[in-house]
Structure 1
Amino acid sequence: MSQGLNIKNLQSIKSEYVSGIEDRYLPVNRIKGGLSGADSIGQNRAVKLAELAGYPENIDSLFVYFYKGDSFSLLFLGEDPNRELARYCLLDEFNKYFWPELYELYKHCQSLNKIQMRIREREHRDNRERKSVADDNKSRSGNGFSPQSMLNIANILLSCSSRDRLLENYAEYLISTFGMTKVAIFTSNQKDSFTAVRIGKLTESSLKNKELSAGSQIYNLIMDRKTDAVITLPISDMTSENKSDAFVRGQKYTLMSRIYSNDKVAAVALIGDRADGRAYTETDLVYLAGLSNIAGLALDNIARYDLVEKLSFTDSMTELYNYRYFYKRLSEEIYRAKRYSRELALVIFDIDNFKLINDSYGHQAGDEVLKNLARLVLSSARAIDVVSRYGGEEFCVIMPDTGRDSCEIFIERLRKMIAEHEFVVDKSGQPRFITVSCGGAIYPGDGQTIDRLIYCADMALLEAKSGGRNRSLMWSAAIQERVLKNNNATPNENIPENKDES
């Protein structure tokens, strides 16, 4: 035992054998949670070592210990030549802390192994996609192409769930199939221009921050719906000194292939000469056009998927994230904060006396208050903050990398800003004023689990309301004492555990 335990070497034992050991030993040989009398399975042949899957070999001084916790059972088989561990296991205090901690550490290692397996599976899948693209190219001969090859690349493109993956596969297929010297992909943006996108290892340094802007000859060619989807670029006629045109001339691109999505040009591929010097044929242009059409259909699918995902995570009235997304994101942010040893703030606030607004001005006026409040909070939050509608008139803000002092300043500033804001909720144009009560809590100081952190922020909010409304409070031990006293509860009753969920 002087060398300690190597957690990576811990292995699981089949559950049916553990159940058999519990049934045969515990009724007569249980002492402080362990096996006594014959504390080596080798001495008691009721269960043979050969029956235990994963039993460690070459152990001379075998120590066996069975620990039954509240939510798990653990069978330990290991080497204990000096009977150090056996002596410790006679102490209740040791067993109370050691075995549960060992079990949690083991579960953590198992989780890491699963994550690594998923990463390897994703890498294998990506490699299979690339290999499939390369294998398909072999089916083409001369300037022709195989219908099966087109079907295979169509399946690959249409199965992509992200735009970047789609464009990367598209560009890789063009280069490997036609032997192109270069391919640059530009996507449409909100500024009447097309911006170069990074596509894995294919992106050249010369493309960084490049745009095909409105007013250039290349931009006019892109937007010309009278021409085919794939055209030969008239480089000799592009004499403009515009930066976009000068860039295209300098790079000596030969072809342009447009990808349409939702009846608009979503992306453009600028294609260089072939490495072997051969010219592109009419068959090649037809093949490129077909490939661009497939890529356009794939972009449509991705856009629909993104829309469905957005609708599933968005509150339809305020256009903020909904509770489902809030809970998912809070889980991710807590994991990130734990991994990098950082703090995380959670703020929950709701409108004071919101029912009076509905009763006095109507539910449509109440809806307008919620919409205006959502926009106001978004304008005051940072880009990294996550603002969500928790439900009804209650909202929450997840604030990564935020400690107690910063959170306290934020919720007080938020409360004052809302109290001073003029809300116009009906046709009269008469401004209305509302107030909110805010509660805040900090990970890991106040809560280390999702439910515990929500509980602390929510209790701080309720304390702010009970103290007269239009207040902001951070969670504190004093608040918990008052909550327990008012509810006649014990610290463990109806209160989420503050135990790390790793």
Structure 2
Amino acid sequence: MKHSKLDINEISSAQFSGRDIRDKNLLKLQTYNKQLLKKVYQLQNLVEVSYRLNSVLDEEQIIHTYLLNLFGLLSTRSVVILSAKSPYSDKFTPIYYQGIGKAHAETLTVGRTDPIFRLLQLHHHCLVLNKHAYLAKKSKFLNQVANLECQLLTPLVHRDHRFGLVIIGNKHNNKPYSLAEIDIFTTLTNFLAVALSNARIYKEMERISLTDPLTGLFNRRYFDNYLDTEIARAKRFEHPLSLVMLDVDHFKNYNDQLGHLNGDHLLVSLAEVLTLTVRRSDIVARYGGEEFCIILPEIARDGALVFSERLRNTISAHPFRKREVQPDGHVSISIGTATYPDDAQASNDLVEKADKAMYQAKNNGRNRVAVFD
């Protein structure tokens, strides 16, 4: 059977058309496959980032890991992380910034009266800033951000507690962020919020475990550990170290006359004076009751005596509340000092020697300093 030239052309055209459709479908599948592989890779990255962020409790390390992945996945030019300084703070201030000058970044604060703050209370998701440009007239913060060419903003939220926000600027290629990139930014920042929240909770629990709840000074547990560390350091560098122990004279009288609340207030006030009297390298701790300890690194026996006499005079002259009820008309302390390596080689021995010196000062009439001998 013979085919006409027209039939052959039709058959040939149909073959080309079928091949073309097949090629287009194949291209679509290949493109879809690439997109799928890219998404799988991004998800794997995000899972890894989540693990890394939640495996550390150091805030600087958490932020470093977050930024490394943020810049890698989104190719953003700049970022600013703002956070509340405390759970009771009424504003967010910058804790980290990159790609923005210091002078500009440090002016970016968000108070509770700013419209953007109220907007964040309503939204958990990422905000595309140019869609909220209408707020710039009312929001000083948004106005500043617009001048810095920032594009996206998302809150730091953990368990419905908003404690900060993250802003990122333009991409290096100046193209707008895609929906997929916005999702990545939101997910990364959610991971950051959880990790930062956990790190801060841990830090607060650690602080509570090492701090005296009444005075805010370090407690006995911290003191014992720190003294061991400092004596080991003094041995290594062949430096002296002195320990000062002090006790409030006639504290029972103050308590009996004025009640325990006033007694507590006296201890708090005394702790404040002690903190203001020492160097930054010194450690003040509440040892127990009305007894306090001060570790003086690199201070020898004579230096400890000079410091203690100055401290004793400072306390005697300080206008503590209702000090006139004390036998001498003012609050006073008895102080004992001991020094490594002259008096003791180990921390327990040093404490014992300083304690003996303190009771020697009390036995000698109170309101005086005794050096262990």
Query: TM-score, length-normalised on structure 1?
Result: 0.56
- Cα distance in 2, alignment partners of residues 440 and 209 from structure 1: 51
The SS at the match of 1:382 is coil
Q: Could you say which residue in structure 2 is the equivalent of 1:211? A: 106
Q: 1:197 aligns with which of 96, 106, 113?
A: 96
Structure 1 residue corresponding to 2:63, chosen from 164, 167, 182: 167
Q: Secondary structure at the match of 2:208?
A: helix
Where does residue 49 of structure 1 map in the other structure? none
325-334 or 260-269, larger mean C-alpha shift: 260-269
8 Å Cα contact 1:441-1:453 kept in structure 2: yes
Cross-structure match for 1:408 = 305
Mapped to 2, the partners of 1:336 and 1:297 lie a distance apart of 37
Q: Judging changes above 3 Å, is the alpha-carbon distance between structure 1 residues 395 and 220 closer, same or farther for their aligned structure 2 residues?
A: same
In 2: Cα distance, 1:382 partner to 1:171 partner? 37
Amino acid at match of 1:173: N
What does residue 128 of structure 1 align with? none
Q: Secondary structure at the match of 2:107?
A: strand
Q: Displacement of 1:262 after TM fit?
A: 6.9
Q: Pairwise mapping of residues 97-136 of structure 1 onto structure 2 (< 5 A)?
A: none
Question: Would you tell me which structure has more helix in proportion to its own residues?
Answer: 2
Give 3-state SS (helix, strand or coil) of 2:338's partner. Answer: strand
Give 1:472 shift: 1.1
Counterpart in 1 of 2:263? 366
CA distance in 2, matches of 1:376, 1:173: 47
Distance 2:56 2:281 in 1: 28
Q: Distance in 1 between matches of 2:115 and 2:237?
A: 49
1:435-467 CA distance string (max 9 Å, x none): 210112333444343223223322321221221
Q: 2:79 matched to 1:180? A: no
Single out whichever of 177-186 and 140-149 deviates more from structure 2: 140-149
Instruction: Report deviation, 1:368.
Output: 3.2
Q: CA deviation at 1:233?
A: 3.3
- Does the residue aligned with 1:254 lie in a helix, a strand or coil? strand
Task: Say if 2:190 is the partner of 1:310.
Answer: no
> How big is the shift at 1:388?
0.7
One-letter amino acid of the structure 2 residue matched with residue 398 of structure 1: I
Report the CA distance between 1:315 and its aligned residue: 1.7
- What letter matches 1:197 in structure 2? Y
Instruction: Supply the distance in 1 between the matched residues of 2:337 and 2:127 (Cα, whole angstroms).
Output: 59
Secondary structure of the corresponding residue to residue 166 of structure 2:
strand
- Select 2:52's aligned residue among 134, 137, 156: 156
Look up the match of 1:439: 336
1:364-419 per-position Cα deviation (integer Å, ceiling 9, x unaligned): 44333323322232232333322111112210012234344443232112212222
Paired positions, count: 331
Does the 8 Å contact 2:211/2:219 carry over to 1?
A: yes
Mapped contact 1:435–1:470 kept (Cα < 8 A) = yes
Q: Secondary structure at the match of 2:186?
A: helix
Change (3 A) 1:364 1:215: closer
Code of the aligned partner of 2:96: V
Q: Give how far 1:161 is off.
A: 0.8
Report if the CA contact (8 A) 1:157-1:166 is conserved: yes
Paired letter, 1:281? S
* Residues 78 and 100 in structure 2, CA contact (< 8 A), matched pair in contact too: no
1:289 pairs, out of 182, 186, 193, with 186
TM-score normalised to the size of structure 2?
A: 0.73
Q: Is the 8 A contact 1:344 1:402 kept in 2?
A: yes
Higher mean C-alpha deviation, range 261-270 or range 171-180: 261-270
The structural deviation recorded for 1:347 is 1.0
Larger mean Cα displacement after TM superposition, 182-191 or 443-452: 182-191
1:467 aligns with 2:364: yes
State the shift of 1:215 in Å. Answer: 7.5
Instruction: Indicate if the aligned counterparts of 2:343 and 2:353 stay in contact, CA closer than 8 A.
Output: yes
Q: Which residue identity does 1:194 align to in structure 2?
A: T
Letter in 1 for 2:54: L
Cα distance, 1:223 vs. partner? 6.1
| 1:266 maps to 2:266 | no
In structure 1, the gaps of 5 or more residues are 1-137, 480-502
3-state SS of the aligned residue for 1:316? coil
C-alpha distance in 1 between matches for 2:36 and 2:319: 68
* SS class of match (1:294): helix
* Distance across 2 between alignment mates of 1:301 and 1:421: 42
Displacement after TM superposition at 1:322 (Å): 0.9
State whether residues 116 and 142 of structure 2, in contact with CA within 8 Å, keep that contact through their aligned partners in structure 1.
no
User: Which structure carries more relative contact order (alpha carbon 8 Å, separation 6+)?
Assistant: 2
Q: Deviations over 1:202-252 (max 9, x none)?
A: x56944894134479xx7646642455422334988999x99889756754
Look up the SS of the partner of 1:324 in the other structure: helix
CA contact (8 A) 1:193 1:212 kept: no
CA change 1:399–1:173 in 2 (3 A) is: same
CA distance in 2, matches of 1:286, 1:204: 22
Conserved? CA contact 1:140–1:146, under 8 Å? no
Q: Residue 195 of structure 2 corresponds to which residue in structure 1?
A: 298
- In structure 2, the residue matched to 1:354 is 251
Conserved in 1, the CA contact under 8 Å of 2:92 and 2:164? Answer: no
Query: Secondary structure, in 3 states, of the residue corresponding to 1:424?
Result: coil
